[in-house]
Structure 1
Amino acid sequence: MKAFIINRYSRNGGLELADMPVPEAKDEDVLVEVHAAGLNLLDSKIKTGEFKLILPYKLPLILGHDVAGIITRVGKNVKKFKVGDKVYARAADHRVGTFAEFIAIDEKDVAFKPENLSMEEAASIPLVALTAWQALVERAQVVNGQKVFIQAGSGGVGTVAIQLAKHLGASVATTASAKSFNLLEGLGADVIVDYKNEDFEKHLSNYDVVLNSQDKKTLEKSLRILKPGGKLISISGPPTPDFAREVGASWFVKLILSLVSAHVRRLARKRNVDYSFLFMRAQGEQLGKITKLIEEGTIRPVVDKVFPFEKTNEALSYIESGRAKGKIVVKLR
């Protein structure tokens, strides 16, 4: 099968289109014929080696985390799915590889594709929607009447997180450039700060939850807009020792993460707020709940561009440029 791979970590090199064997479906797996694959900044970060300390992949590696397609084979222990089912998923860590014609995925990580979405729209959803769900529902436990600040509202995570937070009853603030204001108002944002011309710290205060996706400076300012007892959940780091324990990292990795996160953890304690790092995980049951929200019209995908599969490198470069509004997808079939 055709697949886009990396043979070594590189900041400048692109992905290589190569012939790879079709993966074998284990007893608990479904083999999915890929119709569309979503791209994420995580793909770029893995390509550069930024996550090799906590995600030590064996190379060559087929990249890609998000998929929508049709099941062509099922393992003998698969109970929920059958050949011909239309599905979508975020492939689990160490089993990624959606930039290919086929991928084998454990059935526990798979959900039925929303009936009201195309394959391309469905492929844009899993990683960002699961990130939003695990941050806002699972960890922050957002409830009606709370105030939630979601950074970079026009990005892939931001567009879904705004909609989910509004569904949970929160008042939502976000940051964006002025050209994205109409989009974000349509998604439900209550307060939008033009990050190019305004400082969100001067406009926002007493927030219950922050979903951080930006740099260190933005992270520290976000701590200051939280009320005592508030929660800051970061998907851009720094990772914490708690995260290292969750993933079973070595003592050496725990030590490094303890050092790199010491400053922000100290600032959080000083302000009596909770800081945690979230590295989302594949989870088919949660994705099934998200499917219901999509079919009800509560959450809609925001897709910026769809590239043909052979232009996956161009699609990844577009992600890296930071210009995307919503998600970027490659189409195989």
Structure 2
Amino acid sequence: MKAIGYTTAGAAAELNLVKVELPDVGPRDILVEVKGVSVNPVDVKLRGAVQPNGGPRVLGFDAAGVVTQIGDAVAGYKIGDEVFYAGDVTRAGTNAQFHAVDERIVGRKPQSLDFAEAAGLPLTSITAWEMLFDAFRLTEGNGEGQNLLVIGGAGGVGSILIQLAKTLTKLTVTATASRPETQNWVRKMGADHVVDHRGDLVAQIAALGITPTHVASLTATDQHWPAIIEMIAPRGQIALIDDPEVLDIKPAKPKALSIHWEFMFTRSMFGTKDIEVQSDLLNRISAMVDAGTLQSTVTEHAGQISAETLRAAHIRQESGSVIGKQVLEGF
């Protein structure tokens, strides 16, 4: 089958059209004809740093498509079903004609979205959901009188995190954004307040009269770490998804802060006993989108996938200026 992969880690120019074998389908796997994908920061990080082992590496995690084959033990899907999912970092990626994935991390595609648009949701939705309900240990309908600060609110995760927090909890949400277009975007997503992360965060938050009880640090955590510690309420909750080279957590002790890493691939990587909760939450996301409760976070349709269009999407991702999500149609 056709795929886009790389044989040497490096720049986006390393991405090329390759031919690879159709994936093996395990007992709990479904084989999906990929009709839409998106590009995430993790794609760029892996392409730049991780050398392939024994052949071209195919990246891509988010996907939407149609089930064409099912494993012997598959119970939730049949051939012809339309699905969407965020994949597994330990397996070959979705930048291909066909992709095998464990049914327990797959949801039913929102019927109100086309395949490319649907592919913009899974990875960021799972990440945001797990931040709210696993890391922060919030429960739906609660959060009255509490404040969530989202640092980097206009990105893919921030865009859906704001929506989920406003839809499923009673948190007051403040998002950071530095440009007029990103500030307008996070307001569209539902943020109650907007501050500029290029300015003095501590002063801006103080001016709002807010003390964050929860901080979702989605980018530049090392840069904002002192401000986070200063701003957050005692016994507050911090969750992060980026990769600071060094993070000194000792300053968090006086306030007895809780610090959480969120990594949405953990459940599939380790085959956790509750792996199927990712399927459940994706089905919730799908239903909420179809009900009009959540809106798409896609802002860029980058065309049909090819070496050229995927390279361009990677370069856009590297620029750090993408608002929401960028997606491509399948082969």
Q: Same fold (TM over 0.5)?
A: yes
Aligned to 1:269: 253
Aligned to 1:299: 294
Q: 2:315 aligns with which of 314, 317, 323?
A: 317
1:114 aligns with 2:93: no
1:238 CA displacement: 4.0
Residues 30-45 of structure 1 mapped to structure 2, 5 A cutoff? 30-45=30-45
Aligned to 1:131: 127
Task: Indicate conservation of the 8 Å contact 1:8/1:59, yes or no.
Answer: no
2-structure distance, mates of 1:125, 1:31 = 20
1:141 CA displacement: 2.5
1:103 aligns with 2:99: yes
Cα RMSD, aligned residues only: 1.9
Aligned to 2:16: 16
Q: 2:74 aligns with which of 72, 78, 84?
A: 78
Q: Deviations over 1:118-175 (max 9, x none)?
A: 1111100000010000001221033332200111111111110000111111100011
Q: Which amino acid aligns with 1:299?
A: L
Q: Deviations over 1:175-218 (max 9, x none)?
A: 1122223322222101101334x322212252111110222111
Residues 184-223 of structure 1 mapped to structure 2, 5 A cutoff? 184-196=186-198, 198-204=199-205, 205-215=210-220, 216-223=222-229
Aligned to 1:26: 26
- Partner of 2:152, secondary structure, is coil
Q: Deviations over 1:101-132 (max 9, x none)?
A: 11000110111101111111110000001000
Q: 1:62 aligns with which of 50, 58, 61?
A: 58
1:289 CA displacement: 2.0
Task: Indicate conservation of the 8 Å contact 2:217/2:240, yes or no.
Answer: yes
- Partner of 1:220, secondary structure, is helix
Task: Indicate conservation of the 8 Å contact 2:214/2:238, yes or no.
Answer: yes
Q: Which amino acid aligns with 1:2?
A: K
1-structure distance, mates of 2:202, 2:47 = 34
Task: Indicate conservation of the 8 Å contact 1:238/1:277, yes or no.
Answer: no
Q: Which amino acid aligns with 2:180?
A: A
Relative to the length of structure 2, the TM-score reads: 0.87
2-structure distance, mates of 1:219, 1:40 = 24
Aligned to 2:330: 332
1:6 CA displacement: 2.0
Residues 226-305 of structure 1 mapped to structure 2, 5 A cutoff? 226-238=232-244, 260-261=246-247, 263=248, 265-281=249-265, 283-305=278-300
- Percent identical across equivalent pairs? 30
Task: Indicate conservation of the 8 Å contact 2:12/2:311, yes or no.
Answer: no
> How many pairs does the alignment contain?
306
1-structure distance, mates of 2:122, 2:12 = 27
Q: Which amino acid aligns with 2:164?
A: L
Relative to the length of structure 1, the TM-score reads: 0.87
1:11 CA displacement: 4.5
Q: Deviations over 1:71-114 (max 9, x none)?
A: 01111111110000000001112124111111000110111101
- Partner of 1:117, secondary structure, is coil
Structure 2 vs 1, CA of residues 238 and 75 (structure 1 numbering), >3 Å: closer, same or farther?
same
Task: Indicate conservation of the 8 Å contact 1:209/1:230, yes or no.
Answer: yes
Task: Indicate conservation of the 8 Å contact 1:209/1:226, yes or no.
Answer: yes
1:322 CA displacement: 1.3
Structure 2 vs 1, CA of residues 332 and 187 (structure 1 numbering), >3 Å: closer, same or farther?
same
Task: Indicate conservation of the 8 Å contact 2:151/2:197, yes or no.
Answer: no
